[in-house]
A and B are shown apart, each in its own frame.
Chain A
Amino acid sequence: MEATTRPEIPPGTLYMLILKTLARVGAMHGYGVAQHIQQTSDDVLQVEEGSLYPALQRMLVKGWVAAEWKQSENNRRARYYRLTPQGRKQLARELEQYRQVSGAITRVIEAV
């Protein structure tokens, strides 16, 4: 058993993280998305696969991302996800919301 517990991804932000990742790197497979989030956050945020794939499926249903099977670098088939215009709009919405909320939280906890 691990001695330390990793901080969890705040609820509700997983969509935003995935969308942002796809916006930055273009088409990417699930593993890549998880890796990217982990690396960019300096190993602070680790995406559980158990949440990642259902989230990707839900985003497919909502039409924020589209998926396509492609050959990957070492000649393996993988499902690549990319942002749709709808997803881009959703990302903007979520970022806006997140900024508002986190700004508000910051103001509350830093008030003397």
Chain B
Amino acid sequence: MMELFRRLQYLLNRRRFEQELDEEIRDHLERKAADGVQPDQARRQFGNVTLLKEDSRSAWTWVWLEQLSQDIRYALRTMKVNRLFTLTAVVSLALGIGANGAIYSFMDAILMRSLPVERPEDLAVLTWRARGNAPVVHSHWGESYDAPGGGVVSPNFPYPALRVLWENNQSFSALFGYVEAGHLNMVVDNQAAIVNSECVTGGYFGGLGVPAAAGRLIGPDDDRAEAPIVAMLTFDYWRSRFGGDPAVIGKAATVNNIPVTIVGVAAPEFYGVQPQMKADLFIPMAHQPTVRLQPDGREMFENGNYYWIQLMGRLKPGVTLAAAQAQLGGPLHAYIASTATKDRERAALPELWLTPGGSGMDSLRRQYSKPLWILMGMVGLILLIACANVANLQSARAAARRREIAVRLGLGAGRFRVIRQLLTESVLLALAAGIAGIGVAAAGIRLLLTLLATAEDGFSVNVAIDWRVLGFTFLIAVAAGVGFGLAPALQTTRIDITPSLKQTRSSDPRSSGVRWGFLRFGLSHVLVAGQIALSLLLVVSAGLFVRTVSNLHSVNLGFNAENVLLFNIDASRAGYKGAALASFYSLVESRLRSAPGAIAATSSDMPLVGGWTSRTSITVPGIPQPPEGQRGPNTSFTRVGASFFETMQVPIVAGRGFDERDAGGGSNTAVVNQVFAETYFPGRSAVGQHFSMGSGPNKLDLEIVGVSKSARYSSLKQQIPPVTYLPWRQVAPPRRIGELYFEVRTHGDPLALANTVRQIVREASPLVPVQGVTTQKARIDDTIRQERMFATLSACFGGLALVMASVGLYGAMAYNTARRTNEIGIRMALGANRGRIVRMVLSEVAALCVAGAAVGFAGVYQGTRLLKSMLFGMQPTDPGALAVSAGVLVACAFIAGFLPARRASRIDPMTALRSE
């Protein structure tokens, strides 16, 4: 303890200590002289005074600390002197690390993060798979995917299946269901707001093991049709809307005008089990039809052919996924078989398929995992380029410092001490880059979130840099620093001191390297060629994604999307029903038509090219039903308002568009597109023909009154399907109209009309909020958001790669020409002119480019095949994209190489020869 105190005292009085030691030694020598020893002999006997002092000093301090602070001071000084070097290295590494940190955080949030529930590894998501498209599924609300091995996979089940599974269950300790209930209008204390909701069965919270943060959980008793309607909030929504006020518990509210009581708040960080949908509100499953205003919807709980509810179970301890699937597969099969009435249906029954549920439902994974892996690969390449840059800079500098190091070794510095000093510099560099990289990562995450957030779906993933990512980032930084600092450090300290001391700046410090022709290929050349190869890969990807977007933008829509304002309202949630609802919508539509600045206005039940599809089977006279298990005649459809074809400027090629005659009552009329007409009425006029949509009691007979030119329906990428346009006015329940989209064609900027539109709707009814005001063009752009995101990000990455590779090339060439100053001087003295010198240097650049590009194209050929499914209207080996990318790369390389070349050509032969 006292010792520590004394050492600290020393640290405070360093100068006095040095003076005293000096004086003491002087005194010692004088005494010796007085005793008759010759002064110079006395000193010789005294030995190395500096070493003595150092030893004395080291008695007082912690040696490692002393040396570390020395090393750091020295390193900072060196970094300050070589500002450009430091900046290049830190920025390269920071960008590489930051990009990785950002993408990794996303990977973590989307692919790896588990649900914040009890023992998530025990959860299993129930899905089914079937050969063909499972005709026993008469109606389906939810999603289905193509199964990896053929057939269809879907997470939606008929409600009675839940009871059947539970009665036969031996594998699960809990089994529960949930369904996304969409946007609901929730009014609390006369304040209305749209909330995201999930309907859950009584066993949901208990089964997941999510506790209540306040109030109580929704339990089995709440999940009965006769129970009073209750609701639970998520913690986030409770905090953001109510400031975490406990008085909210027990409060009466209305949801879509239905009275409910808020009874509890879920634990923090729980937003429902679907990672991409951030729920605000939970409602018991039994009340789902009530709050979603589907009074006839109780039937959904009985219908065995209506697939909608999603199921999850918690495995009993020791039960595997496979065992549970084997145990429950039979009972489910028996139940589903009992719902099939036709042989066709029995031929392809859905079979149970369990998947791990720990990360929530996997639709988001399916959608984003491949893009994220590709992004991960891209940023990985960027990190590689950055590391190559740092390695190149470090080794160039280590070569330049050989003399300095030789001097230090010659003066008696230990080899380990010198290596440690060089390492300190590398680690310091890496730490700086790591810290800057965190900043880059934070900015990158914000950028990615903005790019990913889709306007209408409330896409929301909680992404934050967590400590693991932080650690990961630092690890990369430090590993890179140590790795690329150590190799040159080991190499330079192994040198034989004498020749290095004799060596002059301009002679070749590099003894290794392969002679090939007149070029000398060393480590730096390999690194630069590697950088060129990697950059080529990234630039080609950027080129492909950018061309994909431009291809998508130049798709012929078949209608005019310019100058159209788009918004939607849902008057049914404000209490309008039946005829009142229709006349409300008609009123709004006609007022919009006469609004100042509007040319025309119409409405539809979904936005055009908005990524949505309604499809149904049809019966066309003369067209036979298909063989068992295959898709029969069908049509996509949209229900539209008056003057739809005029407003959207879809040309009518035969018959007529909709007018007052189609306003309801009478017979049902339809306009079909050319694809429909050519598919189902080949070689004859479709106008005047009849067909029917749907089946059973909902069957709708239609007369075709017109044929429109084929326009894009749901997506820019897909082929235009057969489409039927129906006037929404004449379509009777149960195909009721709910939400309606309005399209207003304007003279100028559509968004200038936004306030007028809000005013019109408010005047029609103050209870109906206007939602999603946007332009038709922006709505279409939303559907290719992922492609645009990829184009933007890959262009950023490609640019980044180019800059880094150029810096690397510039550094290598600048170093090389500086090394050859002498040689160039001699060449010029012997009559080489400037152009020749420039050509000489650039030929080296060209050789590097050729080598890099050769490797790069091989990589492109292999790598871009992975991108194929994400491209549109082109092949991964699109010659245009390849040529442009290679051209850009070569141009950058030559610019980077030209600067050192020009500098070399300005060398004055006399100065160069004297520069020894």
Residues of A within 8 A of B (CB): 29-31, 48-50, 53-54, 57-58, 60-63, 69, 76-79
Among A49, A62, A63, A77, which residue has its beta carbon within 8 angstroms of that of B47?
A: A49
Interface residues of B in 91-133 (CB under 8 A from A): none
Chain B count of residues within 8 A CB distance of the other chain? 26
Among A31, A61, A79, which residue has its beta carbon within 8 angstroms of that of B20?
A: A79
The reply to whether B55 and A61 contact each other, CB–CB distance below 8 Å, is no
The reply to whether B28 and A49 contact each other, CB–CB distance below 8 Å, is yes
Chain B residues contacting A63 (CB-CB under 8 Å) are: 2-3, 6
The reply to whether A50 and B59 contact each other, CB–CB distance below 8 Å, is no
The 8 A CB mask of B6-40 against A (1 = contact, 0 = none) is 11000000000000110111011011100000000
Among B24, B30, B48, B57, which residue has its beta carbon within 8 angstroms of that of A30?
A: B24
The reply to whether A50 and B27 contact each other, CB–CB distance below 8 Å, is no
The reply to whether A31 and B27 contact each other, CB–CB distance below 8 Å, is yes
Q: Given the complex of chains A and B, what is the CA–CA distance between A37 and B32 in angstroms? A: 15
The 8 A CB mask of B481-496 against A (1 = contact, 0 = none) is 0000000000000000
The reply to whether A53 and B27 contact each other, CB–CB distance below 8 Å, is no
For A48, give the chain B residue with the smallest CB separation. B47
Among A53, A60, A61, A76, which residue has its beta carbon within 8 angstroms of that of B25?
A: A53
The reply to whether A61 and B52 contact each other, CB–CB distance below 8 Å, is no
Among A50, A53, A61, A62, which residue has its beta carbon within 8 angstroms of that of B21?
A: A53
The reply to whether B45 and A49 contact each other, CB–CB distance below 8 Å, is yes
Chain A residues contacting B23 (CB-CB under 8 Å) are: 77, 79
* Additional A-B contact list (6), CB under 8 Å, known A29-B24, A63-B2: A50-B52, A53-B21, A53-B52, A54-B55, A63-B3, A79-B23
Given contacts A50-B46, A50-B51, contact A31 B56 (CB under 8 A): no
Chain A residues contacting B55 (CB-CB under 8 Å) are: 50, 53-54, 57
The 8 A CB mask of B54-77 against A (1 = contact, 0 = none) is 011111100000000000000000
Which 7 A/B pairs are nearest by Cβ-Cβ distance? A54-B55, A57-B59, A50-B47, A58-B59, A57-B56, A31-B31, A31-B28
Chain B residues contacting A58 (CB-CB under 8 Å) are: 59
Q: Given the complex of chains A and B, what is the CA–CA distance between A110 and B301 in angstroms? A: 105
Given contacts A48-B47, A49-B52, A50-B51, contact A60 B6 (CB under 8 A): yes
The reply to whether A79 and B24 contact each other, CB–CB distance below 8 Å, is yes
Q: Given the complex of chains A and B, what is the CA–CA distance between A69 and B48 in angstroms? A: 25
For A59, give the chain B residue with the smallest CB separation. B59
| 20 A–B contacts, CB within 8 A, in A order | A29-B24, A30-B24, A30-B28, A31-B28, A31-B31, A49-B45, A49-B52, A50-B48, A50-B52, A50-B55, A53-B21, A54-B58, A57-B55, A57-B59, A61-B60, A63-B2, A63-B3, A63-B6, A78-B24, A79-B20
Among B31, B45, B48, B56, which residue has its beta carbon within 8 angstroms of that of A53?
A: B56
Main SS class of interface, A: helix
For B30, give the chain A residue with the smallest CB separation. A76
Chain A residues contacting B59 (CB-CB under 8 Å) are: 54, 57-58, 60-61
Q: Kindly name the residue among A48, A50, A79 whose own CB sees the greatest number of chain B CB atoms within 10 A.
A: A50
For B42, give the chain A residue with the smallest CB separation. A49
Question: What's the least CB distance linking A85 to chain B, in Å?
Answer: 12
Q: Kindly name the residue among B21, B24, B32 whose own CB sees the greatest number of chain A CB atoms within 10 A.
A: B24
Given contacts A53-B21, A60-B6, contact A78 B51 (CB under 8 A): no
Among B21, B27, B52, which residue has its beta carbon within 8 angstroms of that of A78?
A: B27
The reply to whether A54 and B31 contact each other, CB–CB distance below 8 Å, is no
The reply to whether B27 and A77 contact each other, CB–CB distance below 8 Å, is yes
Chain A residues contacting B56 (CB-CB under 8 Å) are: 53-54, 57
Question: What's the least CB distance linking B773 to chain A, in Å?
Answer: 77
Chain A residues contacting B32 (CB-CB under 8 Å) are: 31
Question: What's the least CB distance linking B833 to chain A, in Å?
Answer: 63
Q: Kindly name the residue among A49, A58, A61, A62 whose own CB sees the greatest number of chain B CB atoms within 10 A.
A: A49
Q: Given the complex of chains A and B, what is the CA–CA distance between A49 and B29 in angstroms? A: 10
Q: Given the complex of chains A and B, what is the CA–CA distance between A12 and B370 in angstroms? A: 69
Question: What's the least CB distance linking A53 to chain B, in Å?
Answer: 5
Q: Given the complex of chains A and B, what is the CA–CA distance between A66 and B6 in angstroms? A: 11
For B23, give the chain A residue with the smallest CB separation. A77
Q: Given the complex of chains A and B, what is the CA–CA distance between A78 and B28 in angstroms? A: 9
For A78, give the chain B residue with the smallest CB separation. B27
Q: Given the complex of chains A and B, what is the CA–CA distance between A26 and B618 in angstroms? A: 117
Given contacts A54-B56, A61-B59, contact A29 B47 (CB under 8 A): no
Among B46, B48, B60, which residue has its beta carbon within 8 angstroms of that of A57?
A: B60
Question: What's the least CB distance linking A64 to chain B, in Å?
Answer: 11
For A55, give the chain B residue with the smallest CB separation. B59
